[in-house]
Amino acid sequence: MEKIVSSRVFSVPNKPPFGKSNHILIAPPCQIRFSFAVLKLRPFLKYWLPVLIWMALIFSASSDSHSYEHSSLFVEPFLHWLFPRMSQSRVEVIHYFIRKCMHLTEYAMLALLFWRALRQPVKNDPRPWNWHDARLTLLLVMLYAASDEFHQLFVSSRDAAVHDVLIDTVGGAAGLLALWTLGRWRKHW
């Protein structure tokens, strides 16, 4: 005769106590609560974690190790190898242009990740284009670009510039425009 003392064991009439069946393994209640927490955490991990990782990559690229002087060690020799007769001033202009294109690209990607996180799919809802969400996405991109430039105030070899915030925001807008164009072309909206 077994006496059940724990308050965590449940029983159903004419059934063995919950969690005590010898032929079926059933999780105790604390594990069931944990699985519900994991299910609630899953959308965050799927949609917002990529945003946070990308933001961390942008933040690390703003550090001293990725400054203009360090990137010139790779880009400028490559340009000289590719175009041996090009003047140094022209190489520096191209290098500057490449760096600004990278700003556009990284913030276009950030906008797409923000859009994806804000517009998580809903079952049986085609989720057409929403200009309100597009504005919110662009606002988030602009705020992060401004915070990134603010961060560069504290990096000795970097300068903070308002025009970089504008370039980054234009990159976010370009990403959203590309998404909107692709969606129109594929007739999603």
Question: Per the domain annotation, does 135 fall within a domain?
Answer: yes
Q: What is the pLDDT of residue 41?
A: 86
Query: What tokens were used for 132?
Result: 């309100």
Q: Is residue 21 situated within a structural domain?
A: no
CA 12 to CA 26: how far, in whole Å? 14
Other Cβ atoms closer than 10 A to 96: 13
Q: Is residue 162 part of a domain?
A: yes
**Residue 167 included in any domain:** yes
Q: What per-residue confidence (pLDDT) applies to 121? A: 81
- Quote the pLDDT of residue 175: 98
What's residue 185's pLDDT?
94
Q: The domain containing residue 105 runs over which residues?
A: 42-185
pLDDT per residue as tens, the chain (189 positions): 555 554 455 455 555 555 555 555 555 555 556 566 667 788 889 999 999 999 999 998 887 666 677 778 889 999 999 999 999 999 999 999 998 999 999 999 999 999 999 998 878 877 889 999 999 999 999 999 999 999 999 888 788 899 999 999 999 999 999 999 999 999 888
Integer Cα distance of 51 and 67 in angstroms: 23
Using an 8 Å Cβ cutoff, are 72 and 138 in contact? no
Q: Is residue 3 part of a domain?
A: no
Q: Total domain count for the chain?
A: 1
Domain membership of residue 11 (yes or no) is no
Is residue 172 included in any domain, yes or no?
yes
Say if 16 falls within a structural domain: no
Q: Which of 101, 99, 114 is nearest to 50 (CA)?
A: 114
